[in-house]
Amino acid sequence: MDHAAISLPVIESPRGRSDEERAKIAEELLRLDVGEVRFDRHSRLVYSTDASLYQVEPIGVVVPRDVAAVEAIVRFCAGRGIAVLPRGGGTSLAGQCTGRAVVVDLSPNCRRVLEVDAAGRRCRVEPGIGIDELNRWLEKNGAQGGAGLFFAPDPATVAQATIGGCIGNNAAGARSIRYGRTSENVAGVEVVLSSGERVWLEEGAGRKSPTARRLAKRVAAVVHENAAEIRRRFPKLIRRNAGYGLDMILEQLDRGVSEDDLDLSGLICGSEGTLAVVVAANLKLSVLPKARGLAVVSFADLDAAIAAVGGILGTGPSAVELLDDQVIRAAQGNAECRAYVELLPKLAGATPAAALYVEYQAEQSAAELEAFFAALRNVAGTNALVTYSDAGTMGRAWTLRKASEALLHGLPGKAKPVTFVEDNSVPVEQLGRFVTEFKRIVARHGTTAAYYAHASVGVLHIRPMLDLHESADREKMLAIATEAAALAKACGGVMSGEHGDGRVRGPLLEAFYGPQIMTAFKRIKTIFDPVGILNPGNIVDAPPLASIAQNLRVDGESPAIDLSKVDTYYQYAWAEGFAGAVEACNGAGFCRKTSGGTMCPSYRATLDERHSTRGRGNAIRVAVTGQTREGQASSSPDWNDPGVLGTLDLCLGCKACKTECPTNVDIAQLKSEYYAQRYRQLGGAPLRVRLFGNVRRVNQIGSMMPGVANWMGRLGLVHRMLGLSPQRSLPAFAPSLHRWFHRRAAPPMAGRRRVAIWADCFVTYSEPHIGRAAVAVLEALGYAVELPAGGCCGRAMISTGLLDQAIGTIDRTLAAMRSVIDDGGVEAIIVLEPSCLSAIKDEWLKLKLQTDLPTRKRLVEKAMSIEEFVERRWERHPSRPIVPPVSALAGRQMLVHGHCHQKALWGMEPTAAALRRVAGPHVRILDSGCCGMAGAFGYAAEHYDLSMKIGELSVFPPVRSAGPDALIVATGTSCRHQIRDGAGRDCLHPAEVLAMGWCGAGVPSVLAL
């Protein structure tokens, strides 16, 4: 065989397709009726990145309606010589999910569980389902046979990675020492070949399908011919993910497996979409362990920790994970993670410089864990060892390990941890040498790196600190990449142990495997994909070495817009400036999770990449860095891109991303900035935006004549004028809280300690009964209550992007409130509406106001919810009321839904604790995400369906199933409205519940207005 003679058709030019070609392809795909065909510039840009460093604009995007459509797309593209790139969660770190191709996003619609065979511990699924989703499904549908079974591979991205992507990358996680990689957990795959044939590849497939037999015969021939070289060149490690897994085929042939029985599914695992498109997979399921236990062992330095790994492996752990001093130091500087550092045992009273997380699994009973821990104590060589077996503490300890990368990203300075040599895998006994020599490499290039991750299998996620905006650092990147790959090889390892080859390691394969294996790879590629359309340029025919530092998302070569010159409305200290905020999203895709927390409601309801936080982050980044104007050199941001506006439109501004995104990407803030810049450029905002933004003024007027205003609201005129959904009722106006407050017969104030209530526009003009309840509660606690006429917090203006107006308004409000803020006698300012409190706590500190920052910070210290005030100062209140034995709350179940801003900024704990003081253990804080209303969002006619869909995800169902006697509590005004519209239940504010508990007989007069 002339190894050099095999060449694949080069089918996509680096310049991509012309507009005419693209339009024609899109037209033909539309005619095929395969699903959503998105070939517009905006969609192409949204799909131009994955979690890697790279950005390559695809030809277009298709979201197939089902797997049959995938077949049609591949057939069509093969016939026209058009590249195809299958995509799942798009969380690849090596750039294998970026390319000049038609991207086929299988994640939204190809996600069914097709069959479960509990006895045989198998399930058959479509490729778009996520690992977590599958495991949740198996748990939930225990009756169908999934009970106690789970799919074991556990990459750190289990919440967002798809089965198809796990197969594509042969994913594996911390427990791979126990469960292996995806290839060890797959029993067969159904694939579409570029010939258009659809075939199952599994053991014995050759007996059923001529296509499978043909493939197996040809693959076996290649492997036979190269057997000696495969034995010589392939690393003998659990974690090996470079090139095609020819060693897995050789291992079968060595066992005497016939060509008819040959299982080719292992070859598809790790093939990065280059051989075939997976449309179904038969997965092996594992039995869930009875219990898990975690030991955390501290060490004086990294070398000592690494030296201990070999002995620890002898005790049978399911995972051994490493943290070094850089990660631990970064965690100490992080408000959330500092607490988790406390879970590391101290060494001579000090925080350790390295730690190992050692996990064990008990198969029969939890008691087995003790024996494991005892064995560990014998070999660990240190007493600095703690063990945990309760799920909560283990979860908190693991949080620190899992947050490692994000923590390093948060370190100040332009140099950030860069993902390009994060995947080396070496024999565990070589780890010490590898780390020592790696440190020399990075030191030689004038930088540093942190060392952490899967010590059990010799895979350390090392990310050198570089600033890729600098050409010198891009050169360093290239040099470090080649030197690190050579080092891994010299240590008996490989440079791709987990994340695959893609753009960042594909060019290094030849040096690792040599020409003979590379030719074998090409032959494999041509057996499966003779026309070369499947994810070209990956694994085989990779571009030259220099390409490792090209096509970077941070493209230092393009005429950069100097973002430091943009006159922003916010300051961006959290991201070291506007440019940092715009580039903060690293693409890891945690915002694509579908359960737990709140981020990102619109993604959860649509399963559309465009409507994920990442989609919005990408949209804003490309617009602000001037990439949206095709073919034009941009010297200024594009504040008026229709695609970006469409993508931002479905952001509910819930702030969940600000907290739940590991790098704290704050899309609500960036959206507000983008809109404000746009309005500045246009010379003003549309009428509807101005009316939504000025809700306080509208409420003030409505509250003057509530009867008339409410009657007019019911006529539908306002709905039509503002484009509101006809299914929505408007919030009712009521006589102002001020009127009641100043006319009432207040209890004597003299000598009492004082608190103030913030007269927000919802409580003041629409829900004054909540204000009355709050006054009753605060007076029951023994305070004199004040209701200063402050002004607007600007929430609605901020959310709609009226930032010019918001800044002026907030400054005026601050001036009006100054005496209260500075009055040491006013102990707290109670803000009853969470979205107003969030404006004060968050945006007021970040907007470029005239008012000095210390004044704003003093307000933040004083401003709090009534629940927080009640709870945090419980021991200090002038009096502490008790709930009478016979109370309206007695024995009643209480479901509490928290406002998104509250969950994102100050949490639900104070609410839960305060309510439990009056309602005891019956209080249940719902594990609910966003309700879908989000201020004015859910009122808009065009958002109504999505708003209701979001409500259905996690809020309406538990409310509907609550008994008629149950109390439903919601902290936010829009949440209360949404629950009434969507689940038909009236909700109480926590202040009302506290009043019901403590004010006893006074309740009816407090609540009934």
Ligand X SMILES: Cc1cc2nc3c(=O)[nH]c(=O)nc-3n(C[C@H](O)[C@H](O)[C@H](O)COP(=O)(O)OP(=O)(O)OC[C@H]3O[C@@H](n4cnc5c(N)ncnc54)[C@H](O)[C@@H]3O)c2cc1C
Closest-CA residue to 213 (of 263, 254, 276, 179): 263
Residue among 88 and 653 whose Cβ is closer to ligand X: 88
**Least gap, CB of 160 to ligand SF4 (angstroms):** 8
**Least gap, CB of 980 to ligand SF4 (angstroms):** 22
What string of H, E and C letters represents the secondary structure of 86-155?
A: EECCCCCCCCCCCCCCEEEECCCCCCCEEEEECCCCEEEECCCCEHHHHHHHHHHCHHHCCCCEECCCCC
Binding range to ligand SF4, per CB under 6 A, among 229-237, 574-582, 656-664, 702-710: 656-664
Residue among 96 and 315 whose Cβ is closer to ligand X: 96
Burial of 600: CB neighbours in 10 Å, binned 0-12, 13-18, 19+: buried
| CA distances from residue 440 to 324, 455, 495 in whole angstroms, order as listed | 17, 20, 17
Site string for ligand SF4, 577-606 (x = CB under 6 A): --------xxxxxxx-------xxxx----
**Least gap, CB of 246 to ligand SF4 (angstroms):** 34
Instruction: Rule CB under 6 A: say whether 71 interacts with ligand X.
Output: no
Binding range to ligand X, per CB under 6 A, among 161-169, 245-253, 431-439, 557-565: 161-169
Binding range to ligand X, per CB under 6 A, among 210-218, 270-278, 306-314, 705-713: 270-278
For ligand X, the binding residue among 164, 410, 417, 653 (CB under 6 A) is 164
Binding range to ligand X, per CB under 6 A, among 88-96, 139-147, 312-320, 988-996: 88-96
For ligand X, the binding residue among 98, 109, 162, 265 (CB under 6 A) is 162
Which of the choices ligand SF4, ligand X, none does residue 166 contact, using the CB cut-off of 5 to 8 A by kind?
ligand X
Site for ligand X in 385-414 (CB under 6 A): 405
Which residues have C-beta within 8 Å of that of residue 623, sequence separation ≥ 6? 637, 638, 639, 641, 644, 674
Closest-CA residue to 86 (of 108, 67, 68, 102): 102
**Least gap, CB of 585 to ligand SF4 (angstroms):** 3
**3-class secondary-structure state, position 628:** coil
Closest-CA residue to 535 (of 250, 110, 205, 165): 165
Instruction: Rule CB under 6 A: say whether 977 interacts with ligand SF4.
Output: no
| CA distances from residue 966 to 266, 406, 669, 896, 993 in whole angstroms, order as listed | 54, 41, 37, 11, 12
Pairwise CA distance, residues 459 & 353, whole Å = 19
Q: How many residues sit in the footprint of ligand X (CB under 6 A)?
A: 37
**For residue 450, which phi and psi values (nearest 5 degrees)?**
-100, 155
Residue among 947 and 971 whose Cβ is closer to ligand SF4: 947
Which of the choices ligand SF4, ligand X, none does residue 48 contact, using the CB cut-off of 5 to 8 A by kind?
none
Site for ligand X in 468-507 (CB under 6 A): 498-499
For ligand X, the binding residue among 35, 89, 938, 951 (CB under 6 A) is 89
Instruction: Rule CB under 6 A: say whether 668 interacts with ligand X.
Output: no
**Least gap, CB of 97 to ligand X (angstroms):** 4
Which of the choices ligand SF4, ligand X, none does residue 929 contact, using the CB cut-off of 5 to 8 A by kind?
none
Binding range to ligand X, per CB under 6 A, among 163-171, 297-305, 349-357, 959-967: 163-171
**Least gap, CB of 480 to ligand SF4 (angstroms):** 24
Which of the choices ligand SF4, ligand X, none does residue 625 contact, using the CB cut-off of 5 to 8 A by kind?
none
Q: How many residues sit in the footprint of ligand SF4 (CB under 6 A)?
A: 27
> Could you give the dihedral angle defined by the CA atoms of residues 387, 389, 395 and 400, in that order, rounded to the nearest 10 degrees?
10
Instruction: Rule CB under 6 A: say whether 654 interacts with ligand SF4.
Output: yes
Pairwise CA distance, residues 735 & 772, whole Å = 12
Biggest CA-to-CA distance, the chain: 101
Residue among 63 and 657 whose Cβ is closer to ligand SF4: 657
**Least gap, CB of 556 to ligand X (angstroms):** 23
Site for ligand X in 507-536 (CB under 6 A): 535
Pairwise CA distance, residues 957 & 969, whole Å = 15
Residue among 590 and 675 whose Cβ is closer to ligand X: 590
For ligand X, the binding residue among 161, 264, 380, 832 (CB under 6 A) is 161
For ligand X, the binding residue among 25, 26, 37, 51 (CB under 6 A) is 51
Pairwise CA distance, residues 854 & 843, whole Å = 15
Determine which helix (DSSP H) or strand (DSSP E) holds 356, and give its type and residue range: strand 354-362
Closest-CA residue to 219 (of 626, 519, 445, 528): 528
Pairwise CA distance, residues 46 & 618, whole Å = 6
| CA distances from residue 337 to 328, 334, 342, 463, 545 in whole angstroms, order as listed | 9, 5, 9, 20, 38
Long-range contacts of 817-824 (CB under 8 A, 24+ apart): 817/788, 817/790, 817/791, 817/859, 818/855, 820/756, 820/786, 820/788, 820/790, 821/855, 821/858, 821/859, 821/862, 822/855, 822/858
**Least gap, CB of 614 to ligand SF4 (angstroms):** 4
For ligand SF4, the binding residue among 164, 617, 794, 935 (CB under 6 A) is 617
For ligand SF4, the binding residue among 275, 668, 837, 936 (CB under 6 A) is 668
> Do β-strands 923-925 and 894-897 pair in parallel, antiparallel, or remain unpaired?
parallel
Which residues have C-beta within 8 Å of that of residue 836, sequence separation ≥ 6? 758, 760, 762, 793, 795
**Least gap, CB of 85 to ligand SF4 (angstroms):** 19
Instruction: Rule CB under 6 A: say whether 166 interacts with ligand X.
Output: yes
For ligand SF4, the binding residue among 652, 737, 761, 773 (CB under 6 A) is 652
Binding range to ligand SF4, per CB under 6 A, among 37-45, 316-324, 568-576, 660-668: 660-668
> Could you give the dihedral angle defined by the CA atoms of residues 93, 96, 101 and 102, in that order, rounded to the nearest 10 degrees?
-70
Contact 202, 282 (CB under 8 A): yes
Residue among 173 and 615 whose Cβ is closer to ligand SF4: 615
For ligand X, the binding residue among 173, 235, 293, 432 (CB under 6 A) is 173
What b/e string do you get for 628-663 counting C-beta neighbours within 10 Å, with b at 16 or more? beeeeebeebbbebebbbebbebbbbbbbbbbbbbb
Instruction: Rule CB under 6 A: say whether 800 interacts with ligand SF4.
Output: no
Which of the choices ligand X, ligand SF4, none does residue 272 contact, using the CB cut-off of 5 to 8 A by kind?
ligand X
Which of the choices ligand SF4, ligand X, none does residue 601 contact, using the CB cut-off of 5 to 8 A by kind?
ligand SF4
Site for ligand SF4 in 561-580 (CB under 6 A): none
What's the half-sphere exposure (Cβ side, CA atoms, 13 Å) at 732? 8
Pairwise CA distance, residues 911 & 871, whole Å = 8
**Cis omega (within 30 of 0) for bond into 600:** yes
Site string for ligand SF4, 147-166 (x = CB under 6 A): --------------------
Closest-CA residue to 988 (of 889, 908, 903): 889
For ligand X, the binding residue among 127, 243, 771, 951 (CB under 6 A) is 127
**3-class secondary-structure state, position 38:** strand
Which of the choices ligand SF4, ligand X, none does residue 667 contact, using the CB cut-off of 5 to 8 A by kind?
ligand SF4
Residue among 91 and 551 whose Cβ is closer to ligand X: 91
Residue among 91 and 602 whose Cβ is closer to ligand X: 91
Contact 60, 48 (CB under 8 A): no
In the complex, the residues that contact ligand X under the rule CB under 6 A are 50-51, 85-93, 96-97, 106, 127, 155-157, 161-162, 164-166, 168-169, 171-173, 272-273, 277-278, 405, 498-499, 535, 588
By the criterion CB under 6 A, which residues form the site for ligand SF4?
A: 585-591, 599-602, 613-614, 616-617, 651-657, 661, 663, 665, 667-668
